Amino acid sequence: MSTYKPKPIDISSTELTEELNELREAIAENAHDIWAESRIAEGWTFGPNRNDEKKETPCLVPYSQLPEGEKEYDREMAIKTIKLLKVLGYDIIKREETPLYKELLKRIRHANEAYFCPECLSKGIKTPLYRHQVFCDRCGHKLDLKWEE
């Protein structure tokens, strides 16, 4: 029997700015992609239900397609990591607004808007697009969505 008793650093009084909340979403999405990449390398595939014997999981989908409950796990880890950095005395400073950062803001602001792949639509197929996508998941078409600022 293990006697291990986790004692994480108290971060409960740490508040984050809106900018750091946006960073949280970027870290959460990236963490999911790292997890998914690792699972795929281990032989896991998408399946409608988790099945450890068959190595299937319904979570092998883009982050934006995850149920909110699954996203919350990644968000929670991200927010706790950012808060830990602050409690340890680190400053997180964004030096410039890179194209990737600008795209992230667009995706966050338009997360609930419905878009369809124009290439698929031209063939009569409504393939929903999500805020993170650069390519269509169905046909691979490079997307050029005009997100409003």
108 vs 16, higher pLDDT: 16
The whole-number average pLDDT for the span 89-100 is 85
For the stretch 14-68, pLDDT in tens is 888 777 877 888 899 889 999 999 999 999 998 889 999 999 999 998 888 888 8
Please count the other Cβ atoms lying within 10 Å of the Cβ belonging to residue 53: 5
Can you state the angle between helices 18-41 and 99-109, rounded to 10 degrees? 100
CA angle 30, 35, 39 (to 5 degrees): 145
Distance from C-alpha of 42 to C-alpha of 52, rounded to nearest angstrom: 12
* pLDDT > 90 fraction of the chain, expressed in percent and rounded: 36
pLDDT band at 86 (very low <50, low <70, confident <90, very high): very high
The more confident residue out of 80 and 124 is 80
Q: How far apart are the first and last CA of the chain?
A: 55
Tell me the pTM.
0.66
Pairing relation of β-strands 128-129 and 45-46? unpaired
